[in-house]
Every structure is written in structure tokens, then in C-alpha cells.
A and B are shown apart, each in its own frame.
Chain A
């Protein structure tokens, strides 16, 4: 049984600390994978978040052992969070120093992540998401799952254990709320 499978089992049995152990493992794997993909692929070609996350899952978890959507949900939650961190770090580095020598190779590669958003927007989105996490954690996670891990709304709903309709409502609200935050309008 792999380390990740063990943690996923613990998550499923209600261990509240297990999920935290998952994050660093998934984070490392995703970073490596993303850098590797970026190095291999021809310029102009892009990278799919969903593909990345699923590949990480196949690599880390004992797929034969994993049978339940529940445990996959835990995995995707960790993966989405890890993706968010990777992307935010890359955006920060891009903003900070265009030519800071002595960076690791992985970081060089990751600077080329083909994101839809300019680094500035991405950073303000991340900040807004952190604020949303404080007040509406489920909504923040829904956005992270969809936007950073590329899950469909149905898959995200399943991972969060909420209904599809609820997920749609949450999505509409969170999107408007985040947009407002990113554009500097305070809600209160």
C-alpha cells in the first residue's frame, strides 16, 4: 500500500489530521510532474490541469485499492490546493524578479505555466479566495477544485459531498463575490 493510499484510508475513517499529511506529498509530485510536462512539451502546447491531477493520482495512490469516490474526493481536494499554491508561487516569482539567477530548474519550468490569467490577477484571486475560505470554506474549495484542478462542477460537487444544484448556486455566488473582491469593491 502506498503512503498516499494509507493517508486516504485514514481520511475515510475520519482522521482529521490525515488530510494535512496528504498536501505536501501531492504538492511535490504535482510540481515535479508539471515541470516535467512543461519541459517535454513543444512551445505553444498547453498543459491540462485535469490531466496533471489525474496522473498524480495514478502515480501516488494504489489505484487497485482505491475504490471509493470519497477517498478520491480527499485526494482531489489536496491536489487542487497544491495546484493553487504552485501557480501562485510561480506568479509571485514572475512578478518579483524576471531574472533572478540561481533558481532551480523546476522553478524555471514552472514559470512557463500557461495560465489564463496575468500574474497580478492571479495573486489577487488567491488573496480573495483566502478571504472566502475564512467565511465560506466550502465555496472556496469548490472554486479551487474547479479552477485549479479542472474538475467539472459535477465532480467537484461529488468531492465536496454536496448536490449539483447546491454546487451551481455556490458557484454563482462565489464567482460574483470573488469578482467584486478582485476589483477592489469591499462587500461591507
Chain B
């Protein structure tokens, strides 16, 4: 074995066991052994030499080394074992000694964050944190500074596993996952009502532990992100983007603004949406791999602008679909079908880029999930036609403008011709009306003329009769005075004329009548 390998093996061993190990490893090579022993001495002496960069903000802060084990913080928290490591620091299981004896979790914040500011922010939030009391929230109990100057937080110890891991390990069906998701929303709602935003919701901050045999989700680290100032300011972007990469997948679009720090409760709703997305499809909307492919600023742009694919689409294109389906106790085709529709809508509503279009509250989110579970109509619905149209117009300004101009011109043409046609029709109708009136007037005139003719004729007949009577009377008078003319022949003539009666008044006899006069 080479010098380096033996040295590395030896370093791992307890000092007491090293001699025995070296006896075996170096054998009779005294030179090699001397070198290794010298190196081991140097290793012990070097301590944390070079562990901290040559220059860095803040006073020298000890790196997280094993020396912290068994350290006593504030005289009451004894660090027992490191149980986790995150973007912000390390998490330890610790024994609280007084006032009560119990196990707690201690989160040691990484060296390099500004201790004073962290603690000031924590003090500011402490009152609010103390007010939180919810079965699905692990409380923040205390906070302070280690003797070496690193800030720490004391939290309820939750012996659980991240929710995504729990769900996959227990092959929970989508329905069971949704049921587990609802209380998380309620926990977030509770905190929001107390004025606390989590800012860093992700599976590793939502642990599932068994209480009385039932899985209970617990949200941890409430308020820690804010106190530790893990906000994406210009500074953090520049100083340690290794840190921000840790939670990029769960960062809301407004948190991904470089200079803007306008974060509100709706950022948590977004993170809840990402969590549900991951619970259902097995991966967050933007995977770490996807984001890492892009450059730093590109990553943030993707989060701000790119629409993620719908859960059903993500599932149908996922590589490990059979495994995903098996972990959810169903078959690939069934799982994709289940996701399409309402679940797609619910998840996508929580993930809206525009936060005014997300669920207003965590409760609203939970209620929609419950509506789905109870087979009621969900409030989230696919974007309305008008909304999609607006989006479409915004995307294709030029062509849409041209098309609407063309349509406008067409419409104007149609309106114009229709108007013209209408007018022509009206004019024609008027003319016809007038002609009819004329015709009627003509008819009336003719009738009046006929009438006048009849009246004239009647008058003529009456006059004729009166004249006849007068001549009859004169004839009688003359007959009485002049018997010579013989009454027989004359009377006979009169009788003859009278016998013709009214027929004598016929139109055809007018000329004869005239001569008779």
C-alpha cells in the first residue's frame, strides 16, 4: 500500500489503535513508517489549518468539526450526534438538560453568515414563533450563539423522514398522498395567520413521523430561513451560490428576482404546489438537473418565466414511469389518466407565475384538494378561453394585429354594403308605395266620375218625367177644349207609352227620349 492510503486509513482510526495498524501495514519498512508517523503528527497539529478560506467575512469562526460533539450550548443543550446537513448548516440531535430533560434538534448555522444580524432577526421573530401552536408544526424553541460565535436554533426533534421518501417507501397511493398533504396546508395556514412565512418549504422540511401508528406530517424550520436571512439578495447570489442552489427547485418566481425581495405568503403556496407536484409525479417541476444545466442567471430566469409541464405530461414523459406507478400502488396508464384534469389544474394553479392567480391561502389550496377527494367540483379550472386568448395575443402581437385589421376591414365592407342594400331596398319600397297610392287615387276619380254620370242621368230622367206629365196634362186640357182631334187615337198612344213603364228609362233609349222631348 502507498503512503497516502496507509495514512488515510490510519487517520480514521483512534490514536490508540494506530500503532497496531501501522505495524501491520508498514511491516518492516521503517522509513515508510517514520514518514507516516510524521504526517500523522502534522495532521493532529494542523487541526483546522486551511479549512477556512484565507479571508472571509466575520471573525474567525470555527468550522464544523467533530470538536462540537458533546459541546454544551447555553448551559442546557448538549450536542449528541449530527443528524443532517443542509444549505444553512448542520443539524444535531441534542439533549436538553434544564428546565426539562428531553431530546431536541439543534441547527447550527454555517459560519460566514452574519451572526449579529441572524440573531437580531431571530429575536424579532421570536414572539411570533412562540405563538405558533399546531400539531403539524415543529416548534422553534430557542436560539443563541455558540462559544465560537456561530448562531444556532433549537427545534422540536421530529423523528421522521422527508415526506417524499416516506410516501415512496410506503407505496402510498395518490389519494393517500393527497390526504397527507392536506394537514401540511393547514399547518402553513396556521403560521400565515400568525404572520410567519416559511420561505423554505421543501420535502426535507416536511417530515412524516408515526404517532400512534398513524403518519403525521410535521413542518420544521418555520422562521429559520428568515432569521438566517437566506434570502436571495444580490449578496448571497454573489457570495455563495452553492447555498442557493440547495433550494432552487422550490423557489417561487418572485423569490428568483435578483434585486427584488417581495416575498409574501403566496410564495409558500407556490412551494406547497411544488411539493404536491413532487409527491404526485416523483420530481419537482424544474429538476435540479435541468436547473444546473443552465447558468446561474438562466436558472433564475427559468423559474421566473418558464411554464412547467403539467403533472400528467411530466408523468407520461417520465423515464421511470413504471417505478413511479409502482410506488404509488397503481399502473402507469392509470396514474397518468388519474392526473389529467382536476389534479393537473389544482397543481398548476398553485404554481402560477403570477401570484394573484394562485390560491389565495393555504386553506384554499387544502379545500380544493379535499373537494377533489370528495368528488366535488374543484375551484381550480383550466385557464378560461378568454384568458388563453389574451395570452395568445400577448405572444403573437404582430400577426394578431394584422389579422384583426383584416377582419376589421372585412367587417366594415360588410356593414357598408349591407347599409347600401338596405337603403336601396327602402327606396324601392317607397316608390312602389307611391305608385300604389297613385293607382288608388285614379280608381277613386273614375268611381267619382261614374257616380256623377249616374246622378246626371237620374236628373235627366226626372226632368223627362216631369215634362211628360206636363205635356199629358196639356194634352188632356186641349182634348177637353178641342174634341176634333179624337181622343181614341191619342189615348191609345199614351197608353202604349205608359205600358212600356220603367223600361222606358233604359240607357239605350236616351236618343229616342231626346227626340221625344
Contacts and interface: CB of A to CB of B under 8 A. Distances in A.
Contacts of B58: 46
Interface string B1-26: 00010011001000000000000000
A176 B297 contact: no
Contacts of A66: 295
A177 to B, nearest CB: 7
Contact of A49 (B4, B38, B53): B53
Contacts of A87: 54
Contacts of B56: 46, 48-50, 150
Contact of A51 (B8, B40, B43, B239): B239
A117 interface: yes
A187 B238 contact: no
A50 B297 contact: no
B72 to A, nearest CB: 27
Interface in A121-164: 122, 143, 146-152, 154-155
Interface stretch (A9-17, A22-30, A97-105, A108-116): A108-116
A28 B161 CA distance: 49
Given A54-B239, A183-B42, A69 B292 contact: yes
B53 A150 contact: yes
Given A169-B8, A176-B42, A63 B297 contact: yes
Contacts of B57: 46-48, 51
Contact of B239 (A50, A122, A183): A50
A33 B506 CA distance: 137
Nearest to B243: A152
11 contacts: A46-B55, A48-B239, A51-B57, A51-B238, A66-B295, A67-B294, A113-B55, A175-B49, A178-B46, A180-B39, A183-B42
Interface in A169-186: 169, 172-173, 175-180, 183, 185
Given A64-B297, A173-B7, A50 B43 contact: no
Contact of B39 (A115, A155, A177): A177
A33 to B, nearest CB: 11
B50 A147 contact: yes
A48 B55 contact: yes
Interface in B29-81: 35, 38-40, 42-43, 45-46, 49-58, 60
B298 A49 contact: no
A45 B332 CA distance: 58
B293 interface: yes
A116 B39 CA distance: 23
Interface string A80-92: 0001000100000
Given A47-B55, A48-B239, A49-B55, A178 B8 contact: no
Given A63-B295, A68-B295, A187-B38, 20 more contacts: A48-B56, A58-B238, A64-B298, A116-B52, A116-B60, A117-B54, A122-B54, A143-B50, A146-B53, A172-B8, A172-B43, A176-B11, A176-B39, A176-B43, A179-B43, A180-B38, A180-B39, A183-B42, A183-B45, A185-B38
Nearest to B60: A116
B422 interface: no
Contact of B238 (A54, A68, A114, A188): A54
The A interface, classified by DSSP as helix, strand, loop or mixed, is helix
B449 interface: no
Given A152-B242, A155-B242, A50 B40 contact: no
Contacts of A150: 53-54, 56
A14 B55 CA distance: 33
Q: Which 3 pairs show the lowest CB-CB distances between chains A and B?
A: A150-B53, A179-B46, A176-B43
Interface of B: 4, 7-8, 11, 35, 38-40, 42-43, 45-46, 49-58, 60, 112, 235, 238-242, 292-298
A55 interface: yes
Contact of A175 (B46, B241, B296): B46
The B interface, classified by DSSP as helix, strand, loop or mixed, is helix
Q: Which of B53, B60, B235 has the most CB of A within 10 A?
A: B53
Interface of A: 46-51, 54-55, 58, 63-69, 83, 87, 113-117, 122, 143, 146-152, 154-155, 169, 172-173, 175-180, 183, 185, 187-188
Contacts, number: 115
Given A46-B57, A51-B238, A113-B55, A187 B39 contact: yes
Nearest to B299: A67
A179 B45 contact: yes
Q: Which of A50, A64, A117 has the most CB of B within 10 A?
A: A50
Nearest to A50: B239
Q: Which of A65, A146, A179 has the most CB of B within 10 A?
A: A179
A55 B241 CA distance: 12
Contacts of B52: 116
B54 A49 contact: yes
Contacts of B4: 173
A178 B295 CA distance: 35
Contacts of B240: 50, 152
B42 A185 contact: yes
A176 B4 CA distance: 11
A64 B295 contact: yes
Nearest to B59: A46
Contacts of B38: 180, 185, 187
Contacts of A67: 293-295, 298
Nearest to B40: A176
A175 B242 CA distance: 23
B300 to A, nearest CB: 10
A179 B39 CA distance: 9
A13 B405 CA distance: 51
Contact of A179 (B49, B54, B241): B49
A116 B294 CA distance: 35
A117 B52 CA distance: 11
A143 B54 CA distance: 11
A113 to B, nearest CB: 6
A176 B46 contact: yes
A173 B54 contact: no
Contacts of A48: 53, 55-57, 112, 239
A177 B39 CA distance: 6
B50 A54 contact: no
Contacts of A185: 38, 42
A95 to B, nearest CB: 17
A162 B297 CA distance: 25
A154 B39 contact: no
